[in-house]
Amino acid sequence: MDCLVIQGGNRLRGSFPISGSKNAALPILAAAILCEGETTLRNVPDLHDVQQMCALLNRLGVSTQRTEDGALHVRVEDEMNCHAPYELVSKMRASVCVLGPLVAKRRRAQVSMPGGCAIGDRPVSLHTRGLAALGADSDLVNGDMVLKAKKLRGTEVFLGGPFGSTVTGTANVMMAATLAEGRTVIESAACEPEIVDLAEFLNKCGARIEGHGTPRMTIDGVASLHGASHSVIADRIEAGTFAIATAVTNGETTLLGARIDHLTAFVDCLRRVGVNVDKAEKGISVSSARRLEPVDLTTQPYPGFPTDLQAQTMVLLSLADGNSIITEKIFPDRFLHVGELTRMGAHLRKEGPTVIVQGVKRLVGAPVMASDLRASAALILAGLIAKGRTTVHRVYHIDRGYESIEKKLAAVGADIQRVAEAAM
Ligand code: EPU
């Protein structure tokens, strides 16, 4: 197992090439189950989660091949197997995205029910409820969700839950509805850019989806979908993570390929903190050269502040001149980074789904333990500015969602190395 060793204090200067979005690529890969013929996907990040999704697709009779130019070619070869087993689903929750495509195209889906994870309870009842509304019979057998449908029929589906809409739940119902008979209207649909990218991919394949990017989507079912070529959008969460890396080190960088319109709430927060963020010719420019102001923020469904940048923003606010308040409205227990950041000198007080962040003059290096993907990113950011050496253990979490993070950071001046644990 590897760890990352960071010597803090270097200013970052230069450009970050932003990879394709993990959370857009995963459902788009699952959507290939719906298509006849070959699909060619570009800008798919080479990440552990993507490899897991390819392994699951291979098990389901779908071939995946990456060519030298980086493109990923996906084609359904055999439709017999409809079972996504526990050993694969337990490694990656986004495996649940095969549920809708399998029941729509193969009339049967057996997908292991994902359990909770480090960021809290993660129910999937809205996914199954939405698919049941389209006409699928749903059962739970030995921990597997088993869905069967002779025919799916379009209808009105409401996907609002106690914490707002569901991103992968919207993806599942939308994918299934593309092949249902008649019109499906999804109310309280997720509006995330990753959902818009999935809808745009499906439309290229022959689907008839409208209203994506709004809470009301309309899908007119078609008889079949064909393969298509598609380039996945840039990863807004990777871009946001590197924006904070720049801000905490008083650096100056460009986030190449990143879209500022996908990060409106986050950019607004950075500007209130005093970080300069602007649209640049090829992405987003970020620089910071003065004391940071405290702010209050609440995570919300898109276009609100993204929960996937909450942990990283906590590091930034830990260095602000005063007290900030962070409230988590998507995953109220997503605070495992609080204990580890405290070990690095951050002053944090958790009260339910809220953390009060008292700004400190500096953070100090320490050995710390990654607990989930975005918490790991936060620990790396803290290491970049901490005095002395930080060792982030269990970096397999980071490899799930960030492509070559240490290489990208080292290229703009960070002192960061990947080291095998045994060599420590
Ligand atoms: N929820 C329900 N019932 C459901 C489904 C969800 O109550 O049936 C609740 C959840 O518990 C949560 C809220 O609704 O409180 C939103 O969850 P959502 O279903 O939208 O999350 P997800 O689709 O499982 C995706 C991303 C996450 C990201 C969330 C929120 C992918 C593969 N995952 O998860 O990404 O945090 O949306 O934006 O797209 C990450 O990349 O680190 C990550 C965790």
Q: Which token pair is 233?
A: 């959008």
User: 15-66 pLDDT, tens per residue?
Assistant: 999 999 999 999 999 999 999 999 999 999 999 999 999 999 999 999 999 9
User: 244-271 pLDDT, tens per residue?
Assistant: 999 999 999 999 999 999 999 999 999 9
Atom 17 of ligand 1, nearest CA residue = 166
- Identify the pLDDT of residue 424: 61
Atom 44 of ligand 1, nearest CA residue = 308
Query: Using a 6 Å cutoff on CB, does residue 346 contact ligand 1?
Result: no
pTM: 0.98
Contacts of 50 (CB under 8 A, 6+ apart): 22, 25, 26, 29, 44
Atom 18 of ligand 1, nearest CA residue = 166
Q: Please say if the pLDDT value at position 116 is more than 70.
A: no
- How would residue 103 be classed by pLDDT, with cut points 50, 70 and 90? very high
Q: Please say if the pLDDT value at position 396 is more than 90.
A: no
Measured distance CA(47)–CA(57) in Å, rounded:
15
Ligand 1 test: best mutation among 111, 167, 194, 373, most atoms within 8 Å of CB? 167
CA 67 / ligand 1 centre spacing (Å):
31
Query: Using a 6 Å cutoff on CB, does residue 168 contact ligand 1?
Result: yes
Which residues sit opposite 162 in a β-bridge?
none
Q: Which token pair is 41?
A: 């996907």
CA 311 / ligand 1 centre spacing (Å):
16
CA 33 / ligand 1 centre spacing (Å):
22
User: 172-199 pLDDT, tens per residue?
Assistant: 999 999 999 999 999 999 999 999 999 9
**Residue 329: CB atoms within 10 Å:** 17
Mean pLDDT of the chain: 96
Phi and psi dihedrals of 199, rounded to 5? -65, -40
- Identify the pLDDT of residue 169: 98
Helices (H), 205-324: 236-248, 264-273, 310-318
What is the pLDDT averaged over residues 132-140? Answer: 97
Measured distance CA(409)–CA(110) in Å, rounded:
41
Query: Using a 6 Å cutoff on CB, does residue 307 contact ligand 1?
Result: yes
Q: Please say if the pLDDT value at position 286 is more than 90.
A: yes
Q: Please say if the pLDDT value at position 291 is more than 90.
A: no
Q: Which is higher by pLDDT, 55 or 116?
A: 55
What is the pLDDT averaged over residues 328-354? Answer: 96
- Identify the pLDDT of residue 58: 98
Q: Residue 418: CA atoms inside 13 Å, Cβ hemisphere, count?
A: 14
- Identify the pLDDT of residue 155: 98
Q: Please say if the pLDDT value at position 422 is more than 80.
A: no
Q: Please say if the pLDDT value at position 423 is more than 70.
A: no
Atom of ligand 1 minimally distant from the CA of 127: 8
CA 167 / ligand 1 centre spacing (Å):
6
Its sign, for the CA torsion 72, 170, 302, 395, is negative
Q: Please say if the pLDDT value at position 212 is more than 70.
A: yes
User: 342-395 pLDDT, tens per residue?
Assistant: 999 999 999 999 999 999 999 999 999 988 999 999 999 999 999 999 999 998
Ligand 1 test: best mutation among 111, 163, 305, most atoms within 8 Å of CB? 163
CA 412 / ligand 1 centre spacing (Å):
32
Looking at the chain, the whole-number percentage of residues with pLDDT higher than 90 is 93
Query: Using a 6 Å cutoff on CB, does residue 163 contact ligand 1?
Result: yes
